[in-house]
Amino acid sequence: MSNFPPSGEIPRGAIRFNTDSNKPELWDGSQWAEFQLSTPNLAQSGDVSIGARGFAAGGTSSSSNMITAVNLASAGRNFDFANLTNDVRLGGAGSSNTRAIVAGGLTPSITNVINIWTMASQSDATDFGDLVDQVRSTTGVSNSVRVTFAGGLDSPALHNDIQTVLFASQGGTIDFGTLTAARSHTSGIANSVRAVIGGGEEPSKVNKMDFFNLATGTGSQDFGDLSSTRSSITPTGDTTRGVFMGGEPGFTNIIEYVTFSTTGNAVNFGDLSSRAKRAGGSSSNCVRGFYFGGSNDSPSSNTTYNDCDAIIIQEQSNSIDFGDLHATTHGFAANGVMSTGHGGL
């Protein structure tokens, strides 16, 4: 079956059955993308369906080991899925279509532990290996093969290292190149080939974006600029767009996006409707992008939230309310996209 659309406009969200692959496909506005039909999660009495599941992990001002699963097809449906091997915040994260990884962060000391779990099975994460460079305030980017971590902080040293590990091969990360400059509190999003890393601290906040080849690990290059200098941004995206949401200083509600295939400055997308915030968890099902939790704390308040925001990735507009998490643990959550619909981007 041809992957090109028939003549005439196809409404976003249209579904067809591909007779070549024997799998259903969803029209995302530019191409047909394979997806999984929702199947009841018998282990959790149907609270979250397999094939439409996103995750947030770790977080809070004092670290947590909680993994929360979110039904990406239905607002407000989420539950306590399992636990990480350690309490952690400000780590990096990523997923394939079947497995999710959280690495590094504060426990409260800086750690190099890599946690992994299977997203279809409600069981605790296990130790997968170690980061070659232990860091906090890093970001993770992933495709179906690997998760890669860029930058970070090992107080007081900033890192420009890019390190990677394969989902299929248990063990530690290996060197995978460098960012254009050492920085922490970055935010990253990727499709199957290209990763874009935005914002961060050098130690002053920056608006620069780097990109690198996620398949080969060649050295990063300048991609363009965000609209403002900020850090602790929450990422999401699909096969063609990367989206950057919120951040600091001033705790902003800005949403802006880039097109992976074309270098250039970020473009205004809309605003977070719930509140201005930073450092939440995120997911994507390649049609919608999600922001889970977050914080707009001051040193004296350490305020975290359980808001869930959703956007349609190919339609610029403000986010909509997608319900609440069952707990407010996911301020300062691991940075990176984790969902059953993301790893094959």
Q: What are phi and psi of 171, to 5 degrees?
A: 155, -170
Q: How large is the average pLDDT for residues 141-145?
A: 91
Angstrom distance (rounded) from CA 51 to CA 71: 9
Confidence label for 10 from pLDDT (cuts 50, 70 and 90): confident
Other CB atoms within a 10 A radius of the CB of residue 238 amount to 27
- List, for residues 53-69, the tens digit of each pLDDT value: 888 888 776 678 888 88
Asked whether the beta carbons of 284 and 290 are under 8 A apart, the reply is yes
Q: Which of 224-238, 239-253, 268-282 has the lowest mean pLDDT?
A: 268-282
Q: For 67, phi and psi rounded to 5 degrees?
A: -110, 120
What tokens appear for 207 in the block? 């608006």
pLDDT in tens, 182-202: 999 999 999 989 999 999 999
Q: What is the pTM of this model?
A: 0.82
**What number does CATH give the domain 42-324?**
2.120.10.80
pLDDT value at position 44?
35
Tokens read off for 74: 């239905």
* DSSP state, residue 73: T
CA terminus-to-terminus distance, the chain? 20
CA distance 263 to 321: 31
Q: What does DSSP say about strands 15-18 and 208-213: parallel, antiparallel, or unpaired? A: unpaired
Can you give the residue ranges of every domain in the chain? 1-35, 42-324
Q: Provide the pLDDT for residue 345.
A: 54
